Amino acid sequence: MLCTEDIVVKKGSTRQPSPIATVERTVQDVDTHLPGPFMQEEDPIGKKGFSDAVWRKFSLDGVPPQGTVLIRWVRTDRVELIREDELEILHRQLYVGDVVMRGPGSTESGVVINVNSRCSLLPMGTATVKSNGKSLLSLSTFDDSTDSVRLSKQPPHLLDVPVSELQYEESPAEDDMIVYKGWLGKVLSMSCHLSLRLTDNSVVEVDEEVVELLSQAPELPRIGDVVKTKKANLRTGVWKFGRYNANVPPIGTVVSSRPVSIEVGWVSERLVGSIEHHEPPNVLERDEFESEHFRVYDRSRKPAASMDLPMVSNSEVEITMGLRVRFRDLAGAAVKYDGAGTFGKIERIPRQDTLGYDMNVFEVSSVSATVTVQWQDLSITTEPSTALIPDTAIDDEHAAWPGEAAHTLAASKIDGLSRPHQVGIIQSVKAAERMARIRWCPEASVAYTQPDKITEEGDVAEMVEAVVAIATGDTAEVSLYDLDAAAELNVRRGDVVLLDSGNVYRDLSRGAGDVCWLGEVVDTQLDGLLLIRLGLSDEVRDVALKREDVRVVIRSDGTDVLDDGGEDDTDEEDSAWDMDTDSEGDDADEVTDEEEAVYQDENGDPMDIDEAENEDWESDEGGVDVDTDIPEGDLPPAVSINSIAHGLDLSAGIHSISAHHSQATEPTTLSGPLPYLILSTAIPPSHHFASQPSSSNPATTKRIGKEHRILSSPDALPQGVYVRSWDSRLDLFRVLFIGPLGTPYASAPFIIDFYLPTDYPHGPPQAHFHSWPGESGLGGTGGVNPNLYETGKICLSLLGTWESGAKTEGWSSSKSTLLQVIVSILGLVLVPEPYFNEAGYEPLAGQEGSKRPSALYNERTFLRANGFVIGAVAALRARNSAALLPGMHDLQEELRWLYLKHAGPRLLDVVIERVEGILERSQAGSAEVDGSAVMSKGATIPLSRIAARLRSLTEA
């Protein structure tokens, strides 16, 4: 399997050297699936051997077809869609701190603790430029079709060179970390002047913007490149040797590059010692970056007495194909690479031959690497990087690795804060069983805020105290579903940290100029301490510090310091996309009712027009006239309600509706609650949109009436869906969904509030999902579905909160209806494998590498969904309106009938039977874990507690 950024060649290539390419898109890497790939390329994308249908699909969604990848040829910058089996991998770049697996579907993953890279180097060649001018040049940018340059000597490659012997061609370079006056920053870009050695052996300095490579390659010129410019630029340049001669062609070799300004993105100021509170300018001039206050952070520096300990990470120079490098010790390298062995020979270029400029620059022509990995079971192996793949599994909130800090989900509420019962350090993990060995930290203390409620603004629990200390307590085997390895507690190898303890800083400091307030994590020890390398200190040292003594400012995986849990940073209004307004024209703000109506029921079958547009319809409340002149659109073609089984036997008995709905003019006995009902009670304060204004627009009111008529049609609503509205606010709805059978949501209750806004139907309905926190210790944390956020946000194209890429799936004022939204939630969100609801993950369905992540997601979702059952039934058993969870008001009797009443389907008993069946099969250990019928050992531990809690609710 190929991965993004792999270096590849075509199998059987006869060209020497073989052209190389970089993988840019794969089916597995959803972050690369940008639609419209053609719009991002100047030249056409190569498509040899693909049908028109396959090509059209790729041109729209940007997802490579199964078994193919999109590659970019390094030399020509040409992009091509090609089959994987036509390519051979040369190199896969992995970094310290990366999480890897041995292959798709692997149960165990590990952390890269060291990378040992080796490369082949291409020295400078000798050429004749124009007539008789001699020059050195980089062979990689040499273009043999150019009559201005003729290659006269090509030295051999240097082979199997350890990257530890190399350094960058120039410093600083883009992406380097730098320190200036107590601030840490990252080099974003540089403006440079280039010194050009012309064919008459003169040297002139010009701005890099006025030259271009003779080969017309897109890269910026570097040392060793032959470039051309205009004579006017030579005339106005700064002459280092010689002077301007109009007879000398404006062609030369770059012999040096000098920065004149550096653009910096500042990350943070130092946290201890003498602090400079004023942020430096974003652009540093020469007098600033050449001062004593400016330093480049070389992360490849090691302690002087360093021993290559197996658990201590050592960063390397990040080597890529085409990178220009120098030897750290050229004299020593010349002795090692003397031609006597198979590694090649360095032919040193004396400075006196190049006017004092150091032209001993080499270009990386190939790379290979072996990586050392610590696996979850604590074993350590060393293997080629190409034998491993990055672990791209998402939303596994219960994954953990040795050395990580974790706390129990079970917590106590003390002084308004939630405090986990225990905190410890992961010692090892049995990935297949979802079990971990953890050693407790007796002196640890972690606390979270306890917000009154979770709002759309994201007012969720926030960690306000985190002291891990040292693991000196007992060791226990614990389910991963009972632990949370919170991001706020943890670091990764390769993370850059700032010292956050004045006392520790004073102990470490060896003078005013000693930069010991900045370091890199090189080991996460099993006792909880972090080994930090002070790489900018005058004397590089590795020091063991407590987690609370440092603060992470740059994560090695490129993510933010603290993730936001996966939800978009933008506001809901900003993320909403342009809806389909084909039929609205210039009068989109006007709600019209003159379009021809084509009605369909919930199965997509035609409805009788007289039934759908009966103007004499009245609500069950009596006296609420509802006009029905606006057409209902098609239901999603991918959803077949007849295929969604809920297991609700509504013929189980005749039910007498309680006095809760006694104000309504409904029959006194029904075969279960009515699927659709308008209530005469007051709007419950818990309705998320109760404070939103209602529309006075007659057309909007008429359209709202049409929605009610559609919802009230016989058999319009799928079984297991209950819609409630109020005669005082017909634009507000509360909908109860009972999770479909065959999904991890089976028989669980989910409640969503809807609001038809004042611009309806020009704008889509607004929706809010009532996410209920699970009871402590029952394994249910986090969201219940990638599209149902804990904040209440629902990602759905029909609601305008998710752009699917297909225009027809968005909201249409003339075709879409609230029924269509309800059916979409039931059939497209509450699905058998919700893992693939994650944005862009639909193409991964059916792939070998997705089976285990999907099964694990189902395990967690099943635990979480049953927490909804426990929450609802416990609230009903309390027989106290104050105990009702948000969203339950005006649906409590329906829930009581569904879960508890003997006349109803007794879903509580159904859920208990299902849970006990899963426990029995899972504990037998004879079947493969699939996350549905059979679960891991780690999942059965909280599931056993769920079973006990459910049984206790039958006796309440």
What average pLDDT does the segment 44-69 reach? Answer: 88
pLDDT value at position 468?
Answer: 94
Dihedral sign computed on CA atoms, order 277, 282, 285, 286: positive
Q: CB-based burial of residue 441 (10 Å sphere; 0-12 exposed, 13-18 middle, 19+ buried)?
A: buried
Least confident of 73-77, 363-367, 404-408, 454-458: 454-458
Rounded CA gap, 353 and 356, in Å? 7
* Reported confidence tier of residue 780, pLDDT bands at 50, 70, 90: low
Backbone angles phi, psi at 886, to 5 degrees: -55, 130
Could you give the residue numbers annotated as active site?
A: 795
Checking if the pLDDT of 652 tops 70, the result is no
The DSSP secondary structure of 417-450, one letter per residue, reads EEEES-EEEEEEEETTTTEEEEEE-TT-EEEEE-
Q: Residues for the chain: how many in total?
A: 956
For residue 173, is pLDDT > 50? yes
Q: What is the 3-state composition of the chain as percent helix, strand, coil, each rounded to the nearest 5?
A: 20, 30, 50
Confidence of residue 647 (pLDDT cuts 50, 70, 90): very low
* pLDDT tens per residue across span 306-357: 667 889 999 888 888 888 999 999 999 999 999 988 899 998 988 988 899 9
pLDDT at residue 667 above 60? Answer: no
This prediction has a pTM of 0.82
More confident position, 676 or 606: 676
In this prediction, residue 387 has a pLDDT band, given cuts at 50, 70 and 90, of very high
pLDDT digits (tens, 9 = 90+) for 195-204: 999 988 899 9
Instruction: Give every CB contact of residue 726 below 8 A, 6+ residues apart in sequence.
Output: 678, 679, 680, 681, 682, 683, 732
* Sequence-separated (6 or more) residues with CB below 8 Å from residue 394: 566, 838, 841, 853
Give me 362's structure tokens. 């080499």
In whole angstroms, what is the distance from residue 582 CA to residue 595 CA? 13
Q: What is the pLDDT of residues 846-869, one digit of tens each?
A: 888 889 889 999 999 999 999 999
Pairing type for strands 676-679 and 721-726 reads: parallel
With beta carbons less than 8 A apart as the criterion, state whether 132 and 147 touch. no
Q: Radius of gyration over alpha carbons of the chain, in Å?
A: 33
Residue 307 DSSP code: -
Q: What percent of the chain has pLDDT over 90?
A: 59
Of the CA atoms within 13 Å of residue 106, those in its CB half-sphere come to: 18
Flag whether pLDDT at 671 surpasses 90. Answer: no
**Which of 511-520, 636-645, 711-720, 795-804 is modeled with the greatest confidence?**
711-720
**Per-residue pLDDT tens digits for 523-538:** 999 999 999 999 999 8
Residue type, 16: Q
* CA distances (Å), origin 706, targets 161, 332, 385, 709, 817: 75, 85, 61, 5, 9
**370 band by pLDDT with thresholds 50, 70 and 90:** very high
CA nearest to 756, candidates 820, 713, 812, 692: 692
| pLDDT at residue 368, rounded to an integer | 95
The answer to whether the bond into 17 is cis (omega within 30° of 0) is yes
**Residue 458 banded pLDDT, cuts 50, 70, 90:** very low
Whole-angstrom distance, CA of residue 813 vs CA of residue 815: 6
| Interval 60-89 mean pLDDT | 92
pLDDT of residue 776: 79
Question: 935 versus 810: which is more confidently predicted?
Answer: 935
Domain 572-948, CATH among 3.40.50.880, 3.30.160.100, 3.30.70.890, 3.10.110.10? 3.10.110.10
Average pLDDT taken over every residue of the chain? 84
User: What pLDDT does 597 receive?
Assistant: 41
What is the per-residue pLDDT for 560?
Answer: 57
| Comparison of pLDDT for 651 and 290, the residue scoring more | 290
Indicate the pLDDT class of residue 656, thresholds 50, 70 and 90: very low
Q: Any residues with CB less than 8 A from the CB of 16 and at least 6 apart, and which?
A: none
Mean pLDDT across the stretch 608-628? 39
Whether the pLDDT of residue 839 is over 90: the answer is no
Helix (H, G, I), strand (E, B) or coil at 690: coil
DSSP 200-217: TS-EEEEEGGG-EETT--
**Cβ neighbours of 937 (radius 10 Å):** 18
Structure tokens at 58: 């790729």
Q: Label the pairing between strands 729-738 and 721-726.
A: antiparallel
Tell me: pLDDT of 401 over 90. yes
As separate numbers, helices (DSSP H) first and strands (DSSP E) second, the chain gives 13, 46
Average pLDDT over residues 536-547: 94
CA dist list (Å): 301 to 298, 870, 909:
6, 56, 64
Do 25 and 10 contact (CB within 8 A), yes or no? Answer: no
Range name among 210-214, 511-515, 580-584, 757-761 with the lowest pLDDT average? 580-584
The CB-side HSE value for 392 (13 A sphere, CA atoms) comes to 20
Tokens coding 294: 């400016």
Longest dimension (CA), the chain: 107
Condensed to tens digits (0 to 9), the pLDDT of residues 883-926 reads 899 999 999 999 999 999 999 999 999 999 999 999 999 998 87
Of the given ranges (555-564, 814-823, 825-834), which has the lowest mean pLDDT? 555-564
Cα separation of 919 and 865, whole Å?
16
Instruction: Name the pLDDT band for 283 (thresholds 50, 70, 90).
Output: very high
Confidence bin at 636 (pLDDT 50/70/90): very low
Count CA atoms closer than 13 A to 932's CA, side-chain side. Answer: 16
CA 215, CA 231: separation in Å to the nearest integer? 19
pLDDT over 90 (residue 121) = yes
Residues ≥6 apart with Cβ < 8 Å to 617: 625, 626, 628, 709, 712
The crossing angle, in degrees rounded to 10, of helices 937-954 and 848-878 is 20
Check pLDDT > 70 for residue 660: no
C-alpha–C-alpha distance, residues 571 and 574, integer Å:
5
pLDDT for 70 beyond 60: yes
> Any idea where the domains of the chain sit in the sequence?
7-91, 405-554, 572-948
Torsion sign over Cα 211, 217, 221, 226? negative
Residues 832-851: b if buried by 16+ CB within 10 A, e if exposed = ebbbbbbbbbebbeeeebbb
Burial of 136 (0-12, 13-18, 19+ CB in 10 A): buried
Query: In the predicted model, is pLDDT for residue 542 greater than 90?
Result: yes
Is there a contact between 829 and 796 (Cβ–Cβ < 8 Å)? yes
pLDDT of residue 724: 98
> CA 681: distance to chain centroid?
45
C-beta of residue 464 within 8 angstroms of C-beta of residue 479? no
pLDDT at 132: 43
At 659 the pLDDT is: 33
Task: Please tell me the number of Cα atoms within 13 Å of 811 on its side-chain side.
Answer: 25
Nearest of 263, 373, 369 to residue 311 by alpha carbon: 373
Q: Which of 617, 774, 788 is nearest to 710 (CA)?
A: 617
> Is residue 44 pLDDT above 90, yes or no?
no
CA–CA separation, 572 and 457 (whole Å): 9
Q: Which two tokens stand for residue 919?
A: 């426990």
Handedness of CA 423, 429, 432, 433 (dihedral sign): negative
For residues 526 and 311, the answer to whether their CB atoms sit within 8 Å is no
Could you give the CA distance from residue 469 to residue 457 in angstroms, rounded to a whole number? 33
Provide the 10 A C-beta neighbour count for residue 702. 16
